[in-house]
Amino acid sequence: MLPDLTAQEIGDLKTLEQFIIERQDEHAHSTGSFSRLIRDLSVAAKIVNWHMRRAGISNIFGATGEINVHGEVQQVMDLRAHNEFVRALRRGGECCLIGSEEHSEAIPINTNGDSGGDYIVLLDPLDGSSNIEVNVSVGTIFSIYRLPEGFGTPTVEAALQPGVKQVGAGYIVYGSSTILVYTTGHGVNGFTLDPAIGEFILSHPDIRIPRTGKMYSINEGNYNSFEPGLRKYIKWMQQVDAEKGFPLSTRYIGSFVSDFHRNLLKGGLYMYPSTKDNKQGKLRLMYEANPLAFIAEQAGGAATDGKGRILEIQPEKLHQRTPVYIGSKDMVEKAHEFLRGD
Ligand code: AHM
Ligand code: MG
């Protein structure tokens, strides 16, 4: 059943597809191919959303019994989401190479015998997937690059580009509603899936992240293995001073994309720093950090590895990890002050 909408609301409804077509001219020499790529990703997102909504009914909770390339337990839904995105991109024909957190090698796409489309897509098919069984929000994160000149047959080297070279990035959160947020370097827009009509509708135009926020997100269980500057920063955020708005609140879902989404809308800072045992932290540069860094910056926020801009890191391998400090600009800057020991 379609919901009752006022004439005003009907006039204002804009689908993702309409929005993409309107914005197509922002891209120089646009042929429509990038728009089709975003459409392919949104189709996969709808299918994964459908799987997610039925996850407790169809027996697809739990682990596959496999350990993925990162040494983590692979969930059935991780694999299913990976397969749906690969299938949609293969069918769409605009993508020539896929890198996925759930697959050890880059996946070349050959369309009708030629080398496929112009774009490279890197993705985390289901971020935060250990949360699925307990009905906590999870999401998909994607990052888009152009195939650089000189790569006839796309190889993994073609994908090893710094985040500043992204031509698009986005995520989908399968939460209390399903939302797709993306950027092409001209601001950030969010589209909520209307389950009645099966369309993503523009619901969050031109998202701007507040300069500062009241929430920080970090796995504080690792506190004793954080570097001293970070431990001091956490204690600073916990100071008791109601007049100045302290202490801040901790919000940590254990699903990066969901924590990021909340902080993007409300203001806040997400951190996954290096620890004593994991100098590079946990999050993956190409699948998680770069795309969300692109979105954070486009929304007026910041993203660093505790030293410099995430987007400027030259990747050496596809599954590379990096420490991450991402969110409201003033909070990232404050973290840096403490990390430097100012
Ligand atoms: P995943 O991509 O395998 O789900 O792992 C990444 C997740 C992030 O979504 C989340 O913020 C983090 O791992 C949680 O890790 P931890 O349990 O160490 O706090
Ligand atoms: Mg992830």
Q: At 101, which amino acid appears?
A: E
For domain 215-340, say whether CATH 3.40.190.80 is its number.
yes
- Can you give the pLDDT at residue 60? 64
Decide which of 3.40.50.300, 3.40.50.670, 3.30.540.10, 3.30.420.60 is the CATH code for 11-204.
3.30.540.10
What's the rounded Cα separation, in Å, for the pair 165 and 174? 27
Please check the confidence at residue 218 and state whether its pLDDT lies above 90.
yes
Residue 11 confidence (pLDDT) above 70: no
What are the φ and ψ backbone dihedral angles of 313, each rounded to 5 degrees?
A: -70, 130
Ligand nearest the Cα of residue 258 is 1
* Res 74: pLDDT: 75
**Quick check: 28 pLDDT over 70?**
no
Pairing of strands 119-127, 95-100: parallel
CATH 3.30.540.10 in the chain, residue ranges? 11-204
Check: pTM over 0.85? Answer yes or no. Answer: yes
Structure tokens at 11: 């006039």
Rounded CA-CA distance 95/38 in Å is 11
- 8 Å CB contact between 209 and 264: yes
Q: Which residues surround ligand 2, an ion (CB under 5 A)?
A: 124, 127
**Which of 217, 283, 285, when mutated, tests ligand 1's pocket best, judged by the most ligand atoms within 8 Å of its CB?**
283
Query: Rounded CA gap, 279 and 32, in Å?
Result: 42
Residue whose entry in the numeric block shows the structure tokens 């309409």: 18
Q: Ligand 1 pocket: which residues have CB below 6 Å?
A: 72, 101, 124, 127-129, 219, 254-256, 282
Give the atom of ligand 1 at the shortest distance from the alpha carbon of 252: 11
Determine the average pLDDT of the residues in 117-146.
Answer: 94
- C-beta separation of 140 from 81 below 8 A: yes
Q: Which residues, other chains included, contact 317 with Cβ-Cβ below 8 Å and sequence gap of 6+?
A: 160
Q: Return residue ranges of the chain for CATH 3.40.190.80.
A: 215-340
Determine the Cα–Cα distance for residues 141 and 172; give it in Å rounded to an integer. Answer: 7
Identify which of 270, 272, 320 to mutate to test ligand 1's pocket (most ligand atoms within 8 A of the CB).
272
Query: Residue 56 has what pLDDT?
Result: 72
Q: Dihedral (C-alpha) 96, 101, 106, 112: value to the nearest 10 degrees?
A: -40
Give residue 200 CA to ligand 2 midpoint distance, Å.
Answer: 23
Peptide bond before residue 247 is cis, with ω within 30 degrees of 0:
yes
Sheet holding 119-127, edge to edge: 107-108, 95-100, 119-127, 138-146, 168-174, 178-183, 188-194, 199-204
Q: Is 83 exposed, middle or buried (0-12, 13-18, 19+ CB in 10 A)?
A: middle
157 within 8 A of 148, measured Cβ to Cβ:
no
What's the pLDDT at 90? Answer: 94
Nearest CA to ligand 1 atom 5: 128
Rounded average pLDDT over 137-151: 94
Ligand 1 atom closest to residue 130's alpha carbon, by position in its atom list: 4
